[in-house]
Amino acid sequence: QVQLVESGGGLVQAGGSLRLSCAASGRTFSNYAMGWFRQAPGKEREFVAAIRWSGGSTRYADSVKGRFTISRDNAKNTVYLQMNNLKPEDTAVYYCAVRGSIWTMTSNPYEYDYWGQGTQVTVSS
């Protein structure tokens, strides 16, 4: 069982930055990969970034490459999403997720096992 607690969302102007955090508790040793997703009103949940817990390999959606960075702190059981040069199109509810069954950093939200509550990110123009 895994619990996820997110923080760091808010309102920011275009071009600004935010750092999202997701603290995991529970059976973290079984967490093979963690990811960030976002969902805007009227849109499907969209893959943003993922990281392997062991080794730290990362994967990004094309829309955020060069602007967003995913990282993790093993000691704190926490994953981060540093978001720079934010654009209005980044406005969405951001969710962190854990895949506990396999290491693959899938972009399919249905293949993740646990989810945080979501945190709102709003980017004004």
What are the pLDDT digits (tens) for 62-120? Answer: 999 999 999 999 888 899 999 999 999 999 999 999 988 777 889 999 999 999 999 99
Amino acid at the residue 8: G
φ and ψ at 88, to 5 degrees?
Answer: -55, -30
Which pLDDT tens digit goes with each residue over 93-108?
Answer: 999 999 887 778 899 9
- Cα–Cα distance, 15 to 12 (Å, whole number): 8
59 bridge partner residues: 50
Q: Quick one: which of 101, 96, 111 has its CA closest to 51?
A: 96
Separation between Cα atoms, residue 113 and residue 79, nearest integer Å: 16
User: What pLDDT shows up at residue 56?
Assistant: 87
Asked if residue 49 lies in contact with residue 64, where contact means CB atoms within 8 angstroms, the answer is yes
